[in-house]
């Protein structure tokens, strides 16, 4: 049975596996520093969820609780388990448990980005047509364009503006990057 455990401390046994997956699953420009990852564990609105099944590490979701919805900042499945349906299983369970979800993906410009969009679409996500740039984690990088997806339905302009404001001022606060 798949279950999620919230990690609140860098002393957790799971943090080493999560950090190893995080480092390999995301390009550097999409990563927080180690100090930033440690700092957000203490933030009351941040949830680092370790997903396991039969004591086997499946993957993780790093997300923020924001005014009635959850924003998934990072989501990754162990590379040895990819292609076996765990991504959908984890994401569908998460969405079922929390209700409203927002996340971002790269613009749909090639086969890989189309497959990624199809994956999220299959999980019930809707694409929103807002022009959106994710702030940079590092000063030497520029913000990058992303598409905003939401579950179970598209979000209103007001909700998008609220999300973007919290993304800019809380999630991407320079003291926790």
pLDDT tens by residue, 29-44: 999 999 999 999 999 9
Asked if omega into 44 is within 30° of 0 (cis), the reply is: no
Please report which confidence band the pLDDT of residue 12 belongs to, taking 50, 70 and 90 as the band edges: confident
- In 78-156, the DSSP E strands lie at 101-105, 126-128, 133-134, 144-145, 147-151
Q: pTM of the prediction?
A: 0.96
CA–CA dist 6, 145 (Å, integer): 30
Instruction: Please tell me the total count of domains within the chain.
Output: 1
CATH code assigned at 109: 3.40.630.30
Q: What angle do CA 66, 155, 132 make, to 5 degrees?
A: 80
pLDDT tens by residue, 69-128: 999 999 999 999 999 999 999 999 999 999 999 999 999 999 999 999 999 999 999 999
For residue 131, report the phi and psi dihedrals to the nearest 5 degrees.
-75, 120
CA–CA dist 91, 124 (Å, integer): 10
Exposure of 136 by Cβ count < 10 A (0-12 exposed, 13-18 middle, 19+ buried)?
middle
């Amino acid at each position: 049975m798949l279950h999620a455990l919230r990690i609140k401390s860098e002393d957790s046994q799971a943090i080493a596996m999560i950090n190893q997956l995080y480092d390999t699953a995301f390009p550097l420009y999409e990563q927080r520093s180690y100090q930033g990852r440690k700092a957000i564990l203490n933030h009351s609105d941040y949830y680092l969820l370790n997903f396991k099944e039969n004591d086997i590490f499946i993957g993780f979701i790093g997300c923020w609780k924001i005014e009635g919805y959850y924003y998934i900042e990072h989501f990754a499945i162990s590379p040895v388990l990819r292609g076996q349906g765990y991504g959908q299983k984890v994401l569908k369970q998460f969405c079922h448990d929390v209700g409203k979800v927002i996340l971002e993906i790269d613009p749909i410009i090639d086969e890989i980005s189309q497959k990624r969009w199809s994956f999220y679409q299959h999980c019930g996500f809707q694409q929103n047509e807002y022009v959106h740039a994710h702030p940079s984690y590092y000063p030497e990088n520029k913000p990058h364009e992303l598409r905003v997806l939401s579950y179970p339905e598209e979000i209103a302009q007001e909700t998008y503006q609220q999300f973007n404001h919290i993304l800019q001022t809380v999630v991407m606060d320079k003291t926790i990057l």
